[in-house]
Structure 1
Amino acid sequence: MKLKPCRYCRGTNIKLEAWQSGGYMCMVKCNNPDCPVPPEGYPTGRDPEKVKEEWNRRPD
């Protein structure tokens, strides 16, 4: 699934990161170091496809 650009900086360096913390976890985030972390945080969860869908559903 193609990820939409960041709604804050319009950057396209969007990545899915994964780690183990009580089980598999992942997060979609903007990797532009000058972009602020959104007040609501980044989408996270255990299902990468659902996390990607959540990123793409966020309003512009």
Structure 2
Amino acid sequence: MGKLKPCKYCRKSNIAVERWSSGGMMYMVKCNNPDCPVPPEGYPTGRNLEKVKDEWNKWN
């Protein structure tokens, strides 16, 4: 797994990768800091974990 950048809002490194099966495996990378607001555009999600992680790192 590649290294994930800290959250752009709170700058903490408490980043989580969530996964679930909803018509196929889905992934989401999110800040796991309870004090950090959910960004208006949402967190990166998708079916390809590497692409979702890349999206998080570009976003941050």
Following superposition, the deviation at residue 15 of structure 1 comes to 1.1
* Paired position in structure 1 for 2:48: 47
Q: Structure 1, residues 6-26: CA drift from partner, whole Å, max 9, x if none?
A: 000001000111000111000
CA distance in 2, matches of 1:30, 1:11: 8
TM-score under structure 1 length normalisation: 0.95
The aligned amino acid for 2:45 is: T
Identify unmatched segments of 5+ residues in structure 1: none
Gaps of 5+ in 2: none
**CA distance in 2 between partners of 1:27 and 1:57 (Å):** 15
Deviations 1:12-51 (CA, angstroms, capped at 9, x unpaired): 0001110001110000000000000000000000000000
Q: Percent identity?
A: 73
- Number of residues of Structure 1 aligned to a counterpart in Structure 2: 59
CA distance in 2: counterparts of 1:49 and 1:16, whole angstroms: 11
Over the aligned positions, Cα root-mean-square deviation in angstroms equals: 0.7
**TM-score of the pair, normalised by structure 2:** 0.95
